Structure 1
Amino acid sequence: MSMEKGQLSRARGRPGGPAPLLLQTVHEHRPEAGAVSVLKARGTVDATNAVEFSETLAEHIAHADRAGEHAVLDMTEVYLACAAAVRAVDRATGVLAFSGRALPVVQPRPHVREALRAAGLPGVRVHATMASALNSLQARRRAGPRPGGTA
């Protein structure tokens, strides 16, 4: 497993305020899923950094597509502080939803899982564990494209 980039977001944490947002991309090869690119997010997504989070997530998805990797979002340590944060996820995953795909999102905290479920985002599939997310990728990889476009 190799880490490609780890960066603090430009949003600054206020003393006693929300945790700053940290976004880190990890590229790995998993026997069950092949090449995987995991965006690990930690901290609070709020109105001050929701656009940045959305743009970073969209870039992550686009880069994974170009590299032939499966994109995954790890939200284990994220707090979505407002509706703008949920909209940020929706904006970033819109291209996937448009093509009938979804981004595996791993182990969001209960309030995050409920916010995503209530929003009904078509480009997101929530998984309780990384293993579950990788298994979904394995199933998708096995199904693969159908020859001649027939079902």
Structure 2
Amino acid sequence: MENGQLSHARVRPGGPSPLLLRTVREHRPEAGDISVLKARGTVDASNAADFSTALAGHIGHADETGEQLVLDLTEAYLACSDAVRALERATAFLAVSGRVLPVVEPRPHVRESLRTAGLPGVRVHATMASALNPPEPRPAPAPPGDT
């Protein structure tokens, strides 16, 4: 399924579009080496497990190579709760280690599904720039009496 391969989902006229995952690797001066997994089509019960496996492998590869990872859902649909659970399974170890997978430009219904699910290993971004250059954390306020 990765690198431009179709999932095992059946293509039906008028039905959901097949899932296609493609990896794009590039170097950006402001962000270093990045690896973008672009999902196109529909993640549903028929291919959610394949999606989860491919995404987990992609995350593992990025960890090994030190690439910054981004999931691009611009052209993807999460058709059911199985799709959201697949994303949760693939990002679970990121959440445990306090890290997140940046997800960029999801369609409004996908963004709402992710917001509702509250996945701790996923952070949604409106643009690639915001995913690659998150804002600096604010300093903690000084305790009362400290000057």
TM-score (norm. length: structure 1):
0.86
* Structure 1 residue 8 displacement after superposition: 1.4
Residue of structure 1 in register with 2:140 after alignment: none
Residue of structure 1 in register with 2:117 after alignment: 119
For residues 101-116 of structure 1, what are the structure 2 equivalents within 5 Å? Answer: 101-116=99-114
Q: Secondary structure at the match of 2:89?
A: helix
Residue of structure 1 in register with 2:39 after alignment: 41
1:139 and 1:29, CA in 2 relative to 1: closer, same or farther beyond 3 A? Answer: farther
Residue of structure 2 in register with 1:69 after alignment: 67
Q: Where in structure 2 are there 5+ consecutive unaligned residues?
A: 138-147
- Separation in 1, partners of 2:136, 2:40: 28
- Separation in 2, partners of 1:127, 1:45: 20
* Structure 1 residue 6 displacement after superposition: 2.0
- Separation in 2, partners of 1:65, 1:24: 18
* Structure 1 residue 95 displacement after superposition: 0.9
Question: Which protein is bigger by CA-based radius of gyration?
Answer: 2
In structure 2, what residue type is equivalent to 1:57? Answer: L
Q: Does 1:56 align with 2:57?
A: no
Root-mean-square deviation (CA, aligned residues, Å) is 1.6
Aligned positions, number: 136
* Structure 1 residue 139 displacement after superposition: 5.5
1:37 and 1:139, CA in 2 relative to 1: closer, same or farther beyond 3 A? Answer: farther
- Separation in 2, partners of 1:30, 1:64: 15
In structure 2, what residue type is equivalent to 1:38? Answer: V
Contact persistence 2:8–2:46 (CA under 8 A): no
Q: Secondary structure at the match of 1:115?
A: helix
Residue of structure 2 in register with 1:144 after alignment: none
1:13 and 1:35, CA in 2 relative to 1: closer, same or farther beyond 3 A? Answer: same
Q: Secondary structure at the match of 2:3?
A: strand
In structure 2, what residue type is equivalent to 1:94? Answer: A
- Separation in 2, partners of 1:25, 1:12: 22
Contact persistence 2:43–2:83 (CA under 8 A): yes
In structure 2, what residue type is equivalent to 1:25? Answer: T
Instruction: Give the % identical residues.
Output: 74
